[in-house]
A = this chain, B = another copy of it.
Amino acid sequence: MHSTPPISLGIDFGGTSVKIAAVRGAELLGDIVRIPTRDYPQPDDLLGAICDAVARMREQHPGLAAIGIGVPGAVDFDRGVTYNLTNVPGWSNVPLRDRISSRTGLPTVLENDANCAAYAEFKCGAARGFRNVVVVTLGTGVGGGLILNGDLYRGSQYAAGEIGQVSVDYRGVDGPYGNFGALERYIGNQQIAELGARRLREAGREVADDNCSPESLAQAAAAGDEVAQGVWDEVAVLLGTALTSIVYLLNPDAIVIGGGVAHAGDVLFAPLKERMRSMLSFEFYEALRILPAEFGNTAGIIGGAALAAETAGF
Contacts and interface: CB of A to CB of B under 8 A. Distances in A.
A4 interface: no
A246 B146 CA distance: 13
Interface SS, A side: loop
Given A146-B249, A168-B169, A169-B168, A132 B155 contact: yes
A225 interface: no
A74 B156 contact: no
A226 interface: no
Given A168-B167, A177-B279, A249 B246 contact: yes
Interface string A161-183: 11101111111000111111100
B170 A251 contact: no
A250 B163 CA distance: 10
B178 A249 contact: no
Given A148-B148, A170-B169, A181-B241, A157 B279 contact: no
A203 interface: no
A314 interface: no
A35 interface: no
Interface string A244-288: 111011111100000000000000000000000011110110010
Given A148-B153, A165-B248, A167-B242, 4 more contacts: A155-B250, A157-B284, A167-B241, A249-B249
Interface of A: 74, 83, 131-132, 146, 148-149, 153-163, 165-171, 175-181, 237-238, 241-242, 244-246, 248-253, 278-281, 283-284, 287
The 9 closest A-B pairs by CB, nearest first: A155-B251, A165-B248, A170-B241, A162-B248, A160-B251, A179-B279, A177-B281, A166-B245, A159-B251
7 contacts: A74-B283, A83-B283, A155-B250, A160-B250, A165-B245, A166-B245, A246-B249
